[in-house]
Structure 1
Amino acid sequence: MKKYIIKRLIQSIPILLGITIMTFAIMQLAPGNPMETMINPKISPEEMQKMRDSMGLNEPIHIQYFNWIKEVVQGNLGYTVKTGQPVSELILERLPATLLLTGSAFVMAFVIGIPLGVYSATHRYKAGDYLLTVFSFIGISIPSFFLGLGLIFIFALKLGWLPTSGMLTIGADYTGFALAGDYLKHVIMPATVLALPTIAVVMRFTRSSMLEVLNQDYIRTANAKGLDKNKVNLKHALRNALIPVITIFGLSIPFLFGGAYITEYIFNWPGMGSLGIQSIVAREYPVIMALNLFTSVLVMSGNLIADIMYAWADPRIRY
């Protein structure tokens, strides 16, 4: 396993380079450039030209790319165009909020989705199964912005149970359990919006996989021997049924970070998603490139984690 992990890490290097090349090329094809957000009628064309030279925007595209990738290898993700703040510092400021939101959504997705899928499979073609099927279709198809606005309208504006936006109550000086409770109240709605599509997908995959496993000979043999039905379903069937679900486990990590863009914007959550939207509007190319690189690393990390978990779930899998 150790050799396999090292081999995968080495293989990820050219993949990352290819992703950075494609992302950089797409950024160059986008209309406009960062200088257009800084246009000032009082600035002379000569000064504008000097600014472009200082930012390296007059260099050929391949030179710009190599200059950027050289700095990235050294740990420098660049600086924002407007404020000059290091991009790495900006991302690290927003990272804890995004990790809190996506981590909460990730836990919700699998803690809720797997039991619902097991229940749906063990109660096939019953009322509960049909209700959960309808729920899964709604969860997959409903737009996140619509669900988010609906939850805000019901639970924040009408019922007043939860705050409308933000990560903490402004002006409150909470500590200890009070601070944790304030975080919890603010994270419930955005985490629910972010987790709902993944809950639906996990539930459907778990149901499908469980139904396939429950029809295997060894499960019928265990039931014929008189073993406890719940023990057979949870210990023998579920573990083998988790292999397809593990694929979702790995791929859901980048999916949740991508979905956080819209969710964070709706709930004014101070994370990397809202930073990404602000950077796109302001044409902060260094920030956009850094966020794309971060997401690419997440995708490959998620796939590697999924492969390692395959071997844990099924001892027959060896690398």
Structure 2
Amino acid sequence: MWKFIVRRLLVTFPQIVLLSILVFVMAQFMPGDALTGQVDPNVSPEIKQQIRERLGLNNPWYVQYTDWIGGAVTGDFGQSFRFKMPVTDLIEQRIYNTFWLSLVTLIFMYIIAVPLGIISGRYNDTWLDQTITGYTYLGFATPLFIFALVMLWIFGYQFGWFPTSGSVAPGLSPGSWDYVWSKFQHLLLPALSMALIGTVSTVQYLRSEIVDTKQRDFIITARAKGASESRVYNRHILRNSVLPIAAFFGWEITGLISGTIFIERIFGYPGMGALFLESVLMRDYSVVTALVLLFGVAAILGALLSDIILSIVDPRIRIK
């Protein structure tokens, strides 16, 4: 077990290094650079050249990369020209909103996926199974941003059940019950929108596992020995079918990264996804590179977490 984890960690570190290099190199092809927007356009080219020299923007790319990654390791991603503040402080303000949105979404996803997958797999080829399968097909075919817009229009504007923008109502004192309740209300609709679409793959996977497990020899043997149907499902079928779902946890984290970018923009939710789109549109070089690096590292760590969980529930995949 520990050998497997150590080997996966040894593979993960070069992946993060390669990711950082790719992020930096691609950022070099963006229009403008870290100086864009920080100086008056009317400043003479000579003064701009002096500033570029002072900031090290004329250095070779590998020297700039070393300086950038050295600052990133210490938590210094530079300065945001749009927000006029350190990128680290800016991300720190937004990361909590994205964290809570992702956490609530994950909770909703498993609350929805596990019961639906179990019902669909246990009663396969019935009208219940056909209904749930139809929902998953519809979820696969519906783009997240379209579904989110429909949810916002219906439950936000038409019914008025949820706030339509922001992360908390203005004028509330942080730490108070009204503040906490308002935060929850603001993230509830975005989280449900992501969960209802993101859960369909887990439902289908769990259904397939249950249907496949029901046909295994040891299930037939358990029934032949006179085990009750409830015992067969609870002790044998569900036990062997639900455990692999745990491995989806890390991959769900990876999927949420792309989901929050669109969801936060649509719902006006001030998280890292909305910050990323704003920074791309404003060509805020420092913020974009920092967020792409963080999103990439989160995806790599999510895959690592999935592999570790899967190795725990299914020891056959461990590397000897």
Distance in 1 (CA, whole Å) between partners of 2:255 and 2:156 is: 27
Paired amino acid for 1:169: A
SS of residue paired to 1:162: coil
- TM-superposition CA deviations, 1:225-253 (whole Å, max 9, x none): 33342342233222322355344322110
Q: How far off is 1:318 after superposition?
A: 4.4
Q: Do the aligned partners of 1:104 and 1:191 also contact (CA within 8 Å) in 2?
A: yes
Partner SS for 1:4: helix
Counterpart position of 1:221: 221
**1-structure distance, mates of 2:9, 2:142:** 37
Aligned partner of residue 296 in structure 1, secondary structure: helix
Q: Contact (CA 8 Å) 1:78, 1:86: kept in 2 or not?
A: yes
User: TM-score with structure 1 length normalisation?
Assistant: 0.91
Contact 1:37 1:282 in 2 (8 A): no
Partner of residue 6, structure 1:
6
Distance 1:310 1:51 in 2: 52
Measure, in 1, the Cα distance between the counterparts of 2:189 and 2:168: 13
Is 2:60 the counterpart of 1:60? yes
Aligned residues: 319
CA–CA distance in structure 2, aligned partners of residues 234 and 78 of structure 1? 55
CA contact (8 A) 1:34 1:283 kept: no
- Which residue in the other structure is 1:259 paired with? 259
Tell me how far apart the structure 2 counterparts of residues 314 and 4 of structure 1 sit (CA, whole Å).
13
Deviation for aligned residue 1:50 = 2.4
Q: Which moved more, 1:299-308 or 1:76-85?
A: 76-85
What's the counterpart of residue 92 of structure 1? 92
Cα separation, 1, equivalents of 2:299 and 2:226:
44
CA distance in 2: counterparts of 1:138 and 1:28, whole angstroms: 40
| Unaligned residue ranges in structure 1 (runs of 5+) | none
Identify if the C-alpha distance between structure 1 residues 84 and 7 changes in structure 2 by more than 3 Å, giving closer, same or farther: farther
Aligned equivalents of 2:226, 2:139: Cα separation in 1: 38
User: Secondary structure of the residue that 1:88 maps to in structure 2?
Assistant: helix
Tell me how far apart the structure 2 counterparts of residues 294 and 152 of structure 1 sit (CA, whole Å).
Answer: 28
1:41 and 1:178 map into 2 onto residues whose CA distance is 46
Give the Cα separation in 2 of the matches to 1:175 and 1:62: 46
**Percentage of matched positions with identical amino acids:** 33
Task: Summarize the Cα distance change of 1:231–1:31 in structure 2 as closer, same or farther, 3 Å threshold.
Answer: farther
Structure 2: which amino acid aligns with 1:264? E
- Distance (whole Å) between structure 1 residues aligned to residue 41 and residue 270 of structure 2: 33
Q: Deviations over 1:189-230 (max 9, x none)?
A: 100122223210100111111111111011122233333423
Paired with 2:225 and 2:165, the residues of 1 have a C-alpha distance of 55
Q: What is aligned with 1:142? A: 142
Residue 181 (structure 1) aligns with: 181
Alpha-carbon RMSD: 2.2
| Amino acid across the alignment from 2:252 | S
Spell out, residue by residue over 1:52-74, the C-alpha distance to the aligned partner (whole angstroms, 9 max, x if none). Answer: 22332222222211221222233
Match in the other structure for 1:155? 155
How far has the Cα of 1:316 moved from its partner? 5.0
1:245 aligned partner: 245
Partner of 1:287: 287
Give runs of ≥4 in structure 1 deviating > 4 Å: 173-177, 315-319
> 1:240, 1:313 within 8 Å by CA — same for their partners in 2?
no
TM-score by length of 2: 0.90
**Aligned residue in 1 for 2:233:** 233
Query: Aligned letter for 1:282?
Result: M
> Partner of 1:126 in structure 2?
126
CA contact (8 A) 2:34 2:286 kept: no
* Preserved CA contact (<8 Å) 1:8 1:304: yes
Q: Unaligned stretches of 5+ in structure 2?
A: none
Q: 1:302 to 1:232 in 2, by over 3 A?
A: farther
Task: Spell out, residue by residue over 1:107-142, the C-alpha distance to the aligned partner (whole angstroms, 9 max, x if none).
Answer: 111221122111111111111111111111222221
Partners of 2:113 and 2:203 within 8 A in 1: yes
Q: Secondary structure at the match of 2:47?
A: helix
- Distance 1:315-1:7 versus aligned 2 partners, 3 A rule: closer
Tell me if structure 1 keeps the 8 A contact 2:37–2:81.
no
Asked whether the equivalents of residues 57 and 64 of structure 2 are also in contact (C-alpha less than 8 Å), the reply is yes
CA–CA distance in structure 2, aligned partners of residues 41 and 30 of structure 1: 19
**2:170: which partner in 1?**
170
Q: For the residues of structure 2 that align with 1:2 and 1:177, how far apart are their CA atoms?
A: 44
Contact 1:117–1:206 (Cα < 8 Å) also in 2: yes
Are the structure 2 counterparts of residues 49 and 157 from structure 1 closer, same or farther at C-alpha, using a change threshold of 3 Å? Answer: same
Give the corresponding residue for 1:273: 273
Q: Answer with 2-11 or 131-140: which moved more.
A: 2-11
Structure 1 residues 71 and 33, CA gap change in structure 2 (3 angstroms):
closer
The one-letter amino acid of 1:291's match is L
Q: Look up the SS of the partner of 1:37 in the other structure.
A: coil
In the TM superposition, residue 9 of structure 1 has moved relative to its aligned partner by 2.2
Residue range with higher mean Cα deviation, 307-316 or 200-209? 307-316
